[in-house]
Amino acid sequence: MLSNVHKKQIIELQKTSIVQQTAFWSIVKKKTGQESIALNFNSRKSNLYTGIVTDTNIQSDLLVIIQQLNNNDSIAYVPYGPELEPENEFQGVFLEELSECIRPYLPKNCFMIRYDLCWEVFWAGEQAFFDSEGNLIGEPSIQSQELRFNFNTIHWNLRKSQTNILPTNTLYLDLKADLNSILMRMKPKTRYNIRISHKKGVTVRTADLADLNVWYKLYSETAQRNGLYLNDLRYFEAILTARADQTKSPAEVFYLIAEVDQTPLAAMFLIISGNRGSYLYGASSSRNRNYMATYALQWEAIKISKQKGCSGYDMFGISPSKDKSHPLYGLHRFKTGFGGHIFHSLGCWDYPYDVEKYNLFKSLEIRSQGYHIN
């Protein structure tokens, strides 16, 4: 299925709209202490898709982050990759062969690889899992998913992870139309709130490293308010200072602050990669929420993305449905107001190389006690 699998320089990673598969992202991770490797591979179309009339060769690549767990052991993590997405019936076989092909390039004591797949769920077209309005209301059991995914594999070794790292449900906006058309696709309440923010004097500016304390104050307040994990300040410093201009897959970062009379009300990180703008991180103050600063912020990010030639915009993370009890329901209500379509991805899948160590890792991960092997 795969051929010509080889390691290559990070700078050779191809241009992509998936930020987490760029040379830029590798540089961000290096700044935070994580090494990564880039791999190239080839495949025939007929090995990945049905109904191929003219069979040709496909070349693709992969960014793999190496996460060191202790002095001896590590795991390999593939954020939103591989980008190449086979048809459903070939996905498990493809991932199995890919895992075995890249194994020689991983550290000696790397005992598993985790793919954070951005492939669409294979039950996307099955009505049993959606309501009459197209909202996701359930998904197959883990056992059923693993049975389906491992069909036709040799080792039956692909495991559904108990946790997902990156969002598995997102909202994509189509930016190919003109700005007025994009605005008219939004819900009336969202358009109204954008207008309100402008009437109340909310302005959005592009900030830099000197204003990072503004971000972290808003971000810390948001994390505490919503019970979210708090990243270290140096992580955002890394995002703002990473430069990949001399690579094949650079990215452009915009740190935006929405304010009134120089009082910050909301902030976000917009990253332009390939033909897509991605809203990766956002934060807002609990005060003056009637100024609708977050709406002004998103509208500015959409306009910047459009200006930079993007054909799409990723709202990055919502609840899978309109379930009001879901912790991300508020984001669902806010983001779906901007229009677009909801996309459900498969999330994290593991391929263990050492089953004993993997099972220990899995049990400790479930209990959130950290991971140590003597």
305-309 own/partner pairs: CB under 8 Å, 24+ apart: 305/175, 305/270, 305/272, 305/276, 305/277, 306/175, 306/179, 306/182, 308/252, 308/272, 308/277, 309/275
Do residues 284 and 353 both lie within one domain?
Answer: no
> Among all chains, which residue has been given the structure tokens 């819900």?
187
pLDDT of residue 369 exceeding 60: no
Do residues 180 and 158 both lie within one domain?
Answer: no
* Confidence tier at 368 by pLDDT (50, 70, 90): low
Both tokens assigned to 239: 């995002």
Do residues 15 and 136 both lie within one domain?
Answer: yes
| pLDDT one-digit tens code per residue, 69-119 | 999 999 999 999 999 999 999 999 999 999 999 999 999 999 999 999 999
* Confidence tier at 131 by pLDDT (50, 70, 90): confident
107-137: b (≥16 Cβ within 10 Å) or e: eebbbbbbbbbbbebbbeeeeebbeeeeebe
Do residues 25 and 135 both lie within one domain?
Answer: yes
Does residue 97 lie within any of the structural domains? yes
| Residue at a domain's end among 291, 310, 329 | 310
Phi, psi of 34 (to 5 degrees): -115, 130
Q: Which percentage of the chain shows pLDDT scores above 70?
A: 98
* Confidence tier at 163 by pLDDT (50, 70, 90): confident
Structural domain total, the chain: 2
Do residues 40 and 110 both lie within one domain?
Answer: yes
Do residues 160 and 53 both lie within one domain?
Answer: yes
Q: Contact at 8 Å (CB) between 189 and 332?
A: no
Largest Cα–Cα separation, the chain: 63
* Confidence tier at 373 by pLDDT (50, 70, 90): very low
Do residues 27 and 160 both lie within one domain?
Answer: yes
Do residues 61 and 127 both lie within one domain?
Answer: yes
Q: Contact at 8 Å (CB) between 204 and 264?
A: no
Residue 134 has a pLDDT of 78
Looking only at the bridges linking them, the beta strands covering 159-160 and 57-68 are unpaired
Do residues 253 and 149 both lie within one domain?
Answer: no
Both tokens assigned to 164: 């997902």
Do residues 93 and 129 both lie within one domain?
Answer: yes
Do residues 219 and 100 both lie within one domain?
Answer: no
Supply the pTM of this predicted model. 0.94
Task: Give, in order, the Cα–Cα distances in Å from 33 to each of 25, 327, 340.
Answer: 13, 31, 36
Does residue 320 lie within any of the structural domains? no
Does residue 242 lie within any of the structural domains? yes
Which residues constitute the domain of residue 30?
2-166+345-366
pLDDT of residue 208 exceeding 70: yes
Does residue 337 lie within any of the structural domains? no
Burial of 312 (0-12, 13-18, 19+ CB in 10 A): middle
pLDDT of residue 374 exceeding 60: no
Do residues 184 and 274 both lie within one domain?
Answer: yes
Question: Mean pLDDT score of the chain, rounded to an integer?
Answer: 94
| pLDDT one-digit tens code per residue, 274-333 | 999 999 999 999 999 999 999 999 999 999 999 999 999 999 989 888 878 887 788 889
| pLDDT one-digit tens code per residue, 239-266 | 999 999 999 999 999 999 999 999 999 9
Does residue 28 lie within any of the structural domains? yes
In this predicted structure, which of 56-65, 293-302, 317-326, 343-352 has the lowest mean pLDDT?
A: 317-326
CATH code where residue 99 lies: 3.40.630.30
Does residue 269 lie within any of the structural domains? yes
Does residue 328 lie within any of the structural domains? no
Three-state DSSP class for residue 73 = coil
Q: Considering only CA atoms, which of 143, 145, 97 is closest in space to residue 119?
A: 145
Does residue 321 lie within any of the structural domains? no
